[in-house]
């Protein structure tokens, strides 16, 4: 059930960004992060439950998101109209 809400929320964010033309350049490219840095009050069981749904088996790090943004800024001149998902494969529905 939670995965359904996650997917719906992510799609709503993608549409909002697309409609507003928000991105890191004037060609509308958005970076959509997945699970990055659990809240401090997450129990170990809650963390493990989330990690089981991520094919790479780990939470993301801020550096994972920063690498995607850096690529788009430095070398992504031909990337446009895209949402770059950085979520360890979670969106694939593992």
Q: Which one is catalytic: 5, 6, 42, 78?
A: 6
CA angle (72 as vertex; 70, 77 as ends), nearest 5: 135
**42 has catalytic annotation:** no
What CA–CA distances, in Å, run from 76 to 16, 30, 79, 94?
22, 12, 5, 28
Cβ neighbour number for residue 84 with a 10 Å cutoff: 17
Question: What is the distance between the alpha carbons of residues 9 and 13, in angstroms, rounded to a whole number?
Answer: 6
- Which residues are part of the catalytic machinery? 6
């Amino acid at each position: 059930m939670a995965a359904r809400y996650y997917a719906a929320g992510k799609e709503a964010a993608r549409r909002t960004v697309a409609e507003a033309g928000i991105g890191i350049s004037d060609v509308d490219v958005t970076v959509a992060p997945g699970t990055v840095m659990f809240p401090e009050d997450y129990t170990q069981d809650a963390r493990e439950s989330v990690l089981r749904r991520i094919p790479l088996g780990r939470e993301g790090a801020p550096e994972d998101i920063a690498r995607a943004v850096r690529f788009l800024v430095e070398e992504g001149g031909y990337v446009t109209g895209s949402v770059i998902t950085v979520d360890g494969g979670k969106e694939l529905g593992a």
